[in-house]
A and B are shown apart, each in its own frame.
Chain A
Amino acid sequence: MTDHAATGRVTTAGDGGAPARPATPPSGIRRIRIPQKLRNLEFWLLIVACFINASAIVLVQLGALGRIDTQLVLLGAGLSVLVFGLHIAMRFVARDADPFLLPIATVLNGLGIAMIYRIDIAEGDAGWESAAVRQIAWSAIAIICAIATIFVIRNHRVLFRYTYLAGLVAIILLILPLVPGLGQSRGGAQVWIGFGDIATFQPGEIAKIALAVFFAGYLVRNRDSLSMVGKKFLGMQFPRARDLGPLLIVWALSMSVIVFQRDLGTALLYFGLFLVMLYVATSRLSWVVLGLSLFLAGAIIASQTLDYVGNRFANWLTPFSDERFNADPGGSYQLVQGLFGLANGGLIGTGWGQGRPDLTPVPQSDYIIASLGEELGLAGIFAILALYLLFVARGFRIGFAGQDDFGKLLGVGLAFVVALQVFIVVGGVTRVIPLTGLTTPFLAAGGSSLVANWIIVALLLRLSDTVRNHPRLVIDG
């Protein structure tokens, strides 16, 4: 590399960049790349992250068993090896990717495994019966999926070409659980597919990624007609009636998820994702106002006509009434137990393995936040929320710094879907909004959710790599 300091410092894209860029930089241009500074930062953060995960498992064993069992610690160590595998893969194919996403996701995943393991101990599950072992196996699959994503998708603009294919895939994934013989119902919600008892999967989790890609591509192509025209009313410019089509279609889709799949949370997630991406694409508040009123109207009608939605609302408003607490299907027993658990945790929690999170129904999936709140206390819950906050903020940052509109929208959409999911779950458990069954990203037991969220991590990493990977000129004044 020759020195052109006299003519200024200009960098070109890295090796893996778009083919359109000239292979040999014009004169006056040279590469400066601080060698792998971001990756080294990530390396140190990952070491801390893996140490946190290992100590969480050890503390669970000390607290609940009173001794250290090396088997699960070894399994957890295997997972750390995979995470470092992803890190090494990024050193080759995504050198300039964001250094914080991977450590944050690792810690969240590890905390989830430790809590699931703790509940296994309380319920006496071991071996393949144990949800923690299955969670570790799924985490391994999910991280391998993330590595594959980073290798296969070298430039996120490829996804732009498959906008409508992504839309189709999302619809198919949503319909799959309703296919007789393939779909399975659990806890009332028809959102699972599987053959018999083995290998069940929740295709809706993957659908949210496909939907984010579809919405981003669709909105980039059509945003002019959605944002430029319309009448002004109450200080907001409202869209024309004929441009309402997409909003109504997504609304109908969410409503059918509520009616046919009996899944309030998923419907809220998809609709919220669409609204936010629409708002980011058009910067029109009127879309949000219209969308929210549509959704509220739908939710109120559903709460009057559909039993399970009505129960959720009643539990949310009066969980402590005897009638709601003792109602057998759809009572507020779980919600109240979760609240008692959180209260028992107090400020610093009972400590790993010292509480009774197993008293709440499904403490390892829907209610993992209440379980963690009991054992880690308010300090621990806030730490977890801070991790989510940082994760989502990095995602928005990647979207903000994006060079192309599709990448911007996709980054914001993927980050927001994680944020909204956390809000729906934590809000439901803490009685801010009616409780809806959704998985807590990275924490909750469940393979499909892990795979989907690790693919989101991989896509955000890929986006952030392309963001930094462009010509630049440095002027030191």
Chain B
Amino acid sequence: MTLQKLAEPAESDKAGSAPLPGPSGKRRISSFNIPVTILVAVLSLTVLIPLYFTVVTALKSPDQLGGTGFELPTSIHPENFSKAWELTNFPHALLVSGIVTACAVVLTIITNSMVAYAIARNMNRPFFKALYYFFIAALFVPFPIIMLPVTKETAMLGLDNPVGLFLLYTVYGLSFNIFVYTAFIKSIPPELEEAAIMDGASHWTTFWKVIFPLLTPMNATVGILTCLWAWNDFLLPLVILSDPATRTLPLVQYVFQSQFNTDYSTAFASYLMAMAPLLLVYLFAQRWVISGVMRGSIK
């Protein structure tokens, strides 16, 4: 017993160094379930093949598009990208999407956490309790149901632009985010704040200096989900934005469908450019993104 206990940590500490003799070391290596690994690998092709297809199609010239479509390009055609770049005015759409997404994420984290904090700490007061249920009830009101009047109203208020767009993401995110934040805030002992208040800090300062830093994991979760939503959303920009110069990336793909016509190489180059920024961020922050999303689902 004692020997095994001693051997185990030593083994993990020395991972990569000279192999240790003994049955326990061997079992660890063969404990991988190889048939399941193979099955998972095959299933993951369902995700990878469409992505591969997108990339090779974007690199081919139109006359290479025949056949099964999955062949590697015989020659690479980067001019598809420059064509799509100019046709859709890619840098401009990228800028709009980037600004809207960044503002939506920052504003959402700052405001929604604050609202959730005020609600979570005052659930015994009727006003805040009612507010909580009011926001949660709004979860049942999907956007298509209010899109006609919202469009009229934003136009009337002069919010039919990117500013209105990120404001709407911030406000519409409230329902879900309050739900996520309050569950987390309830797990923070109130003694922490009470100590700060005793030392003369205002509630305002206490929130920003004591509570907000403790919310970092939830802020990450909310930030990731908001980022994915704002970047990829199509319906809200479609109905809200009135000026063609303020189109977001997904909206640009929709508007240019008729102009891509049958020039699929340019179309796919454009799709790839629109997906690439977030995909690249995801590839580097994959672990962090997934753990952030997982955290949001465990209460």
A interacts with B: no
Interface residues of A (CB under 8 A from B): none
